[in-house]
Amino acid sequence: MKYLICSDIHGSAAAAGLLIGWFEKLRCDRLVILGDTLYHGPRNPLPPGHDPKGVVDLLNPYADRIVACRGNCDAEVDQMLLAFPTMGDTALIVDDGVRLVASHGHVYSPERLPPLLPGDVFLSGHTHVQMLEKNADGVVLCNPGSAALPKGGSPAGFAVYEARTLTLYDMNGTELRTLRV
């Protein structure tokens, strides 16, 4: 299967529309959303194209193909609008024997990992900064960055996982880094 992995949309219909476009163009099977889907939060500016209802309208038709977890800016009221489960702190994906654990990054993070084994993949957002590396324990750490509000010089972007390979992209579709799991 092919997974498009994104995080920190923060209510930007512009970013959500681009993500759906890449999901279709890259012929992905699942869309993994690592939280902070609808609300921008009190510490962030309004993202370009801020329209939380528009994000709902873009994502809900894909509900049967979305795997999502809760971010620190997500609230129970968001779940009332979204047609896919989004309130769990983690989501587990097992693909061809590889375990991918998704979490926003505020409960579990690269500095505070859940129990993982060498060869597992930890997916997180929260920092709005892209990262793709293997830690000393052999766990692959992937942060796709923010689709709407990048920080720290990181581009707005997403990641794709397929056939034991992770690739970071910017929102223009430029491949930035690839790592074999």
- What superfamily would CATH give domain 2-180? Metallo-dependent phosphatases (3.60.21.10)
Paired sense of beta strands 121-123 and 131-134, if any: unpaired
Residue 48: per-residue pLDDT: 87
Cα separation, 147 vs 156, whole angstroms: 5
Residue from 112, 130, 110 nearest 121 by CA: 110
Q: Is the CB of residue 156 less than 8 Å from the CB of residue 174? A: no
Residue for token digits 């766990």? Answer: 139
Q: What pTM did the predictor assign?
A: 0.97
- Delimit the domains of the chain by residue range: 2-180
Q: What is residue 41's predicted lDDT score, i.e. its pLDDT?
A: 79
pLDDT score at 40: 83
The token pair at 164 is 């034991």
- Please provide residue 59's backbone torsions phi and psi, each rounded to the nearest 5 degrees: -85, -40
- What is the bridge-based pairing of β-strands 121-123 and 98-103? parallel
| Beta strands in 39-162, from DSSP E residues, in sequence order | 66-68, 90-95, 98-103, 121-123, 131-134, 140-143, 157-162
**C-alpha to C-alpha distance for 103 and 125, rounded to whole angstroms:** 8
Positions of the chain with pLDDT lower than 50, given as ranges: none
The total number of residues shown for the chain amounts to: 181
Q: In what order do the strands lie in the sheet with 30-33?
A: 66-68, 30-33, 2-6, 157-162, 165-170, 175-180
**Cross-strand bridge partners of residue 30:** 3
